[in-house]
């Protein structure tokens, strides 16, 4: 594995500037491609799984976080409130309170449940500058978040489906979990007090984990302040673990916000809230992808998917035409021409690009290109249109397989 901070700079994915501030990285064009593609993947997977997407603001009134419990239990991770006239507003420490208000914005019937509200939205954490570096400890976080509002009977199935969605995403991204963890409360006033609600939520999460057949460890002191959670753990090159994905069952916030739905019996009931994140923070997910793949991203995520290499000046027009056709076909393609060095040097410089197409005099004459894959395979000469079609198929399938015969 590689250090994402060094590789991120070398590959031109992201960087920092002391004047923008510690823990506030910016994304360069190639990094922005990876991030955008990851975000679109997540939104698409969520749409297919029945989620509806929303946007909600990154600021909220202080009273909102007092109601959610963040003000009392989470304030050391929050930025100070900003006074605006007679109001105080806060950079949000999570998306949950906004989604609870969106649920509460109209009368809900049991027929609408489970109601799955998703958002890729910013949240802010007041990290000390001493622990900041790269994309893993940042002060502004783009979170892949969702909240499923459901009946008690639906909660286990919703949490189970979320865990499955996480597993599928890891396979498509070519990453893997080092362990699953059931995170429980520890000592101290960090957690809301209601032993019965904690006991019920923990029992349901155990049911989810046991049903999924995954082995897991329990960790005291790692729960959210409002409830226990399943944490999907990843490890960095030094073996340091962190949490990428989470699934939580929460009885507490529905109480705090007075959430209701009208049941089949015509009476009002309290929904359960399942909080879940498939890839966690986009920053941490990209950092992990960089480290695991060493910059050789799965083709669908790669900043450049096809590098076209004319052997000499005579094939430059042919190469440019292939790039134009590939771009028109939805691919990310570039020419590396003879002015960038010998053919061997250009092949090496493009070693992280999943597909290379070499065009010499013989290929130009025959209307084909010589195809080289990043993993060393050489599928041989193909007509240009056939190559664009084959790569397009692999990219649309969003898997980790580069080529099938």
What minimum distance in Å lies between the beta carbon of 401 and Zn ion? Answer: 34
Identity of the residue, 252 or 275, whose beta carbon is nearer to Zn ion in the bound complex: 275
Tokens found for residue 54: 């929303």
CB of 96 to Zn ion, least distance (A): 3
Element (H, E) at 126: none
- Given the complex with Zn ion, which of 96 and 287 has the nearer CB atom? 96
CB of 42 to Zn ion, least distance (A): 16
Looking at the Cβ atoms of 224 and 292, the one nearer to Zn ion is 224
Length of the chain: 405
Q: Does 116 bind Zn ion (CB under 5 A)?
A: no
Closest to 202 in 3D by CA, of 187, 222, 182: 182
If the CB atoms of residues 4 and 99 are measured against Zn ion, the closer one turns out to be 99
Instruction: Name the strand (E) or helix (H) holding 89.
Output: strand 87-91
Which residue lies nearer to Zn ion by CB, 35 or 275?
275
**Of 76-84, 275-283, 296-304, 331-339: span binding Zn ion (CB under 5 A):** 275-283
Residue nearer to Zn ion on the CB measure, 96 or 358: 96
The tokens for 318 are 């042919």
Strands, sheet with 179-184, edge to edge from the N-terminal-most edge strand? 52-53, 115-124, 140-150, 272-277, 241-250, 229-235, 179-184, 216-220
Q: From the CB of 108, what's the least distance to Zn ion, in Å?
A: 18
Contact track, Zn ion, 234-273, x by CB under 5 A: ----------------------------------------
The reply to whether omega before 236 is within 30° of 0 (cis) is no
Closest CA to 139 of 198, 193, 92: 92
The distance of closest approach from Cβ of residue 273 to Zn ion in the complex, given in angstroms and rounded to an integer, is 7
Reduce the DSSP state of residue 357 to 3 states and report it.
strand
For Zn ion, the closer of residues 5 and 98 by Cβ is: 98
The smaller minimum CB distance to Zn ion, of residues 108 and 275, is found at: 275
Question: Under 8 Å CB-to-CB from 21, ≥6 apart: which residues?
Answer: 139
Please answer whether residues 165 and 148 qualify as being in contact, where contact means their C-beta atoms are separated by less than 8 angstroms: no
Least distance (Å) between residue 224 CB and Zn ion: 8
Enumerate residues 66-105 that contact Zn ion by CB under 5 A. Answer: 96
Q: Three-state DSSP class for 250?
A: strand
Closest contact distance (angstroms) between CB of 253 and Zn ion is 8
Least spacing, CB of residue 113 vs Zn ion, in Å: 17
Measuring CA to CA, how many Å separate 151 from each of 39, 50, 260?
A: 29, 16, 10
Containing 44, the helix (H) or strand (E) segment is helix 29-48
- In angstroms, give the least distance from the CB of 144 to Zn ion: 11
Residue ranges in 90-181 assigned as alpha helix (H):
96-104, 152-173
Q: Which residue from 181, 275, 288, 394 is in contact with Zn ion, where contact means CB under 5 A? A: 275
| CA–CA gap between residue 162 and residue 149 (Å, rounded) | 13
Cα distance between residue 120 and residue 42, in whole Å: 9
73 vs 390 by CB, closer to Zn ion? 73
Return the closest-CA partner of residue 200 out of 155, 162, 263: 155
CB of 54 to Zn ion, least distance (A): 13
**Based on CB atoms, which residue is closest to Zn ion, 140 or 316?**
140
SS3 assignment, position 14: strand
Structural element, H or E, at residue 291: helix 282-293
Report yes or no: 117 and 158 within 8 Å, Cβ to Cβ: no
CB of 277: closest distance to Zn ion in angstroms? 8
- Which alpha helices (DSSP H) does 69-136 contain, by range? 70-73, 96-104
Size of the residue set binding Zn ion (CB under 5 A): 2
- CB-nearer residue toward Zn ion: 285 or 370: 285
Instruction: Give me the residues that bind Zn ion (CB under 5 A), please.
Output: 96, 275
């Amino acid at each position: 594995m590689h250090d994402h901070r060094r590789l991120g700079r070398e590959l031109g994915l992201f960087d920092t500037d002391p004047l923008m501030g510690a823990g506030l990285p910016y994304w360069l064009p190639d990094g922005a491609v990876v991030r955008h593609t990851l975000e679109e993947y997540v939104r698409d997977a969520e749409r297919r799984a029945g989620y509806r997407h929303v946007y909600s603001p990154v600021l909220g009134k202080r009273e909102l976080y007092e109601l959610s419990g963040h003000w009392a239990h989470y304030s050391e991770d929050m930025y100070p409130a900003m006074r605006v006239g007679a109001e105080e507003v806060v950079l949000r420490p999570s998306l949950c309170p906004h989604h609870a208000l969106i649920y509460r914005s109209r009368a809900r019937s049991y027929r609408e449940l489970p109601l799955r509200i998703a958002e890729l939205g910013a949240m802010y954490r007041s990290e000390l500058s001493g622990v900041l570096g790269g994309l893993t400890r940042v002060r502004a976080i783009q979170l892949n978040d969702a909240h499923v509002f459901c009946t008690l009977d639906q909660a286990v199935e919703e949490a189970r489906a979320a865990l499955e969605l996480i597993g599928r995403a890891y396979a498509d991204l070519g990453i893997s979990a080092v362990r699953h963890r059931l995170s429980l409360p520890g000592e101290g006033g960090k957690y809301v007090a209601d032993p019965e609600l904690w006991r019920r939520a923990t029992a349901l999460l155990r049911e989810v984990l046991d049903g999924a057949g995954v082995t897991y460890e329990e960790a005291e002191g790692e729960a959210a302040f409002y409830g226990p959670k399943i944490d999907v753990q990843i490890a960095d090159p030094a073996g340091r673990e962190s949490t990428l994905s989470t699934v939580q069952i929460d009885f507490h916030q529905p109480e705090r916000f007075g959430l209701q739905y009208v049941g089949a019996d015509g009476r009002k009931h309290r929904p359960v809230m399942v909080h879940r994140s498939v890839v966690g923070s986009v920053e941490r997910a990209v950092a992990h992808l960089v480290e695991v793949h060493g910059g050789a991203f799965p083709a669908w995520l790669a900043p450049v998917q096809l590098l076209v290499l004319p052997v000499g000046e005579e094939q430059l027009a042919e190469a440019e035409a292939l790039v134009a056709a590939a771009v028109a076909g939805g691919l990310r393609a570039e020419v590396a021409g003879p002015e960038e060095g010998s053919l061997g040097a250009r092949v090496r410089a493009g070693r992280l690009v999943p597909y290379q197409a070499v065009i010499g005099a013989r290929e130009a004459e025959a209307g084909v290109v010589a195809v080289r894959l990043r993993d060393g395979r050489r599928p041989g000469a193909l007509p240009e249109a056939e190559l664009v079609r084959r790569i397009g198929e692999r990219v649309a399938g969003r898997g980790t397989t580069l080529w099938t015969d």
